């Protein structure tokens, strides 16, 4: 049994609230650790220390701040296996998935090595008679990140790398379900040369979140999680005068045209729908074949692939396709939604509810499930299941499939599989979703672009990572300057205003 505390001013600090939350091993169902839950007073004290440390960090030139990211990238690569193993132990995802979690965060750190080019302002000479104008990007001060359980390395790195490189101090409030990796990242940042106090990890629950939202010193909040919480955080942060960037849930569709390569489409659906036990905001959870023949051909290919999936603990190594879901409550909710799908008339082609693994009977495992004949009125379609469940909604035409996607309240990611370039181009141009894949099931942009959903999947004007992150974590100051000319007369300067 271990305890996770807080990281304040460059060291581990024991919580004072006396409140702790259980950290489970999802594979066994056993409590393996405890994490401290901070009070408002503890959060406010961490913010005050960050505010003291931030001005000196902001005064460091951007190139030297970027060098800290260079060193951090080196240290993450050095400790990749240690980070992945810790992540898998607390989250439950397989080691390959855990390495990918760390890697996708690392890629944003690598982009932030080039932060000086993204922090440049603009300049205009002679914008008026003798008048020059220039702008500069300056850090906000103290900012906060509230990150989810499903990517305990990637999302914190997406937040901290641009925020710190832009010259801010950051308060990180990670998920209490798997808090160890963010604490490890704090240690690596210190080793990389980040001054103490500039990055603080305050573990906690809703009390800590509300304290972040109400603290006057914190200037901006970034969040990833469910849509109801995203809406709550966005509304409360904005009402308190903070910038907010909140990303919520998803219901990602993949449209399969009759001309698509069905084997490639089936492979893509299995990987995108069941990888990481479906606990990804970019998971494909709805297959939308166009035409009954397409739907039948797709089901025929999906069933044997899904039935061959291997489910097990991360300790089984690379042979496991996915692991348990994160908590017993998540398992119960997923299985309840599967039951509702059956009750509401969907055809359950593959049922994963009875999955049991010898030696891990108390683990939070859910076998893969596949539904056919799902309709938009059913709960399994309307709700984000966040588990290893794939639903097939049959459509008779491309326009019907496109309308289905566009009418959905979420707009995180979508994909289309087709051999026709005109259809793909039309879909990409018309669909009202933030990230689109063409013959690519999980269209998470590379780290020098940006990540963000539309509709109820995203709240705020700017996306995560890329240039948008530096816009979010900085404010623009514009200077209008006029110098007066000096006219030398008899060894003295007489100053004359330029008209």
* DSSP per residue, 159-172: HHHHHHHTT-EEEE
Which is catalytic among the residues 112, 238, 246, 281? 281
Rg (CA), the chain: 25
* 164, two tokens: 């710190």
In Å, how far from its chain's centre is CA 162? 14
What is residue 35's three-state secondary structure?
Answer: strand
* 33, two tokens: 């650790």
Residue 432 phi/psi, 5-degree rounding, is -95, 60
What is the rounded distance in angstroms from the CA atom of residue 168 to the CA atom of residue 137? Answer: 12
- 281 an active-site residue? yes
What is residue 202's three-state secondary structure?
Answer: coil
Strand partners, 371: 348, 391
What is the rounded distance in angstroms from the CA atom of residue 50 to the CA atom of residue 202? Answer: 12
| The total number of residues written for the chain in this structure | 499
Please give the torsion angle defined by the CA atoms of residues 85, 175, 247 and 243, in that order, rounded to the nearest 10 degrees: -120
Residue 281, judged by CB atoms within 10 A of its CB (0-12, 13-18, 19+), counts as buried
* C-alpha dihedral sign at 271, 272, 278, 279: positive
Strands (E), 378-446: 389-392, 410-411, 413-417, 435-438
What is the rounded distance in angstroms from the CA atom of residue 207 to the CA atom of residue 15? Answer: 14
What is the rounded distance in angstroms from the CA atom of residue 269 to the CA atom of residue 249? Answer: 19
Please give the torsion angle defined by the CA atoms of residues 204, 80, 88 and 247, in that order, rounded to the nearest 10 degrees: 50
* 245, two tokens: 């960037």
Residue 31 phi/psi, 5-degree rounding, is -75, 120
- The residues, any chain, with a CB within 8 Å of residue 123's CB and separated by 6 or more, are 132, 133, 134, 135
* Residues labelled as active-site residues: 281
């Amino acid at each position: 049994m271990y305890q996770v505390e807080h990281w304040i001013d460059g060291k581990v600090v024991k919580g004072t609230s006396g409140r702790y939350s259980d950290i489970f091993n999802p594979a066994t169902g056993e409590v393996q650790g405890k994490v401290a839950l901070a009070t408002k007073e503890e959060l406010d004290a961490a913010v005050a220390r960050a505010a003291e440390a931030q001005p000196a960090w902001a005064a460091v030139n951007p190139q030297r701040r970027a060098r800290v990211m260079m060193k951090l990238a080196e240290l993450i690569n050095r400790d990749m296996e240690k980070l992945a193993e810790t992540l898998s132990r607390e989250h439950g995802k397989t080691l390959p998935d855990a390495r990918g979690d760390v890697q996708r965060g690392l890629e944003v750190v690598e982009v932030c090595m080039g932060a000086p080019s993204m922090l440049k302002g603009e300049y205009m000479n002679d914008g008026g008679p003798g008048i020059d104008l220039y702008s500069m990007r300056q850090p906000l001060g103290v900012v906060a990140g509230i990150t989810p359980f499903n990517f305990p390395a990637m999302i914190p790195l997406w937040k901290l790398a641009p925020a710190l490189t832009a010259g801010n101090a950051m308060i990180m409030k990670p998920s209490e379900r798997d808090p160890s990796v963010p604490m490890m990242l704090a240690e690596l940042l210190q080793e990389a040369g980040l001054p103490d106090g500039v990055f603080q990890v305050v573990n906690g629950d809703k009390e800590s979140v509300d304290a972040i939202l109400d603290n006057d010193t914190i200037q901006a909040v970034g969040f990833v999680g469910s849509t109801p919480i995203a809406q709550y955080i966005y509304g409360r942060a904005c009402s308190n005068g903070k910038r907010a960037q909140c990303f919520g849930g998803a219901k990602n569709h993949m449209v399969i045209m009759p001309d698509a390569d069905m084997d490639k489409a089936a492979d893509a659906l299995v990987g995108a729908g069941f990888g990481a036990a479906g606990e990804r905001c970019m998971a494909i959870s709805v297959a939308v074949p166009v035409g009954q023949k397409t739907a039948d051909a797709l089901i025929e290919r999906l069933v044997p692939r899904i039935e061959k999936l291997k489910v097990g603990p991360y300790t089984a190594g690379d042979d496991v396709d996915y692991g348990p879901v994160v908590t017993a409550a998540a398992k119960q909710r997923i299985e309840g939604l599967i039951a509702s799908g059956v009750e509401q008339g969907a055809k359950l082609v593959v049922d994963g509810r009875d999955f049991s693994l010898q030696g891990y009977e108390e683990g939070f495992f859910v076998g893969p499930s596949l539904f056919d004949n799902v309709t938009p009125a059913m709960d399994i379609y309307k709700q984000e299941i966040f588990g290893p469940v794939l639903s097939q909604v049959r459509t008779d035409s491309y326009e019907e499939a496109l309308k289905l996607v566009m009418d959905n309240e979420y707009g995180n990611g979508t994909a289309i599989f087709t051999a026709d370039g005109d259809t793909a181009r039309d879909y990409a141009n018309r669909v009202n979703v933030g990230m689109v894949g063409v013959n690519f099931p999980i269209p998470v942009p590379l780290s020098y672009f940006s990540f963000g959903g539309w509709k109820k999947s995203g709240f705020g004007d700017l996306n995560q990572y890329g240039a948008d992150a530096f816009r979010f974590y900085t404010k623009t100051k514009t200077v209008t300057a006029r110098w007066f000319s000096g006219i030398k007369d008899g060894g003295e300067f007489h100053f004359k205003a330029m008209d």
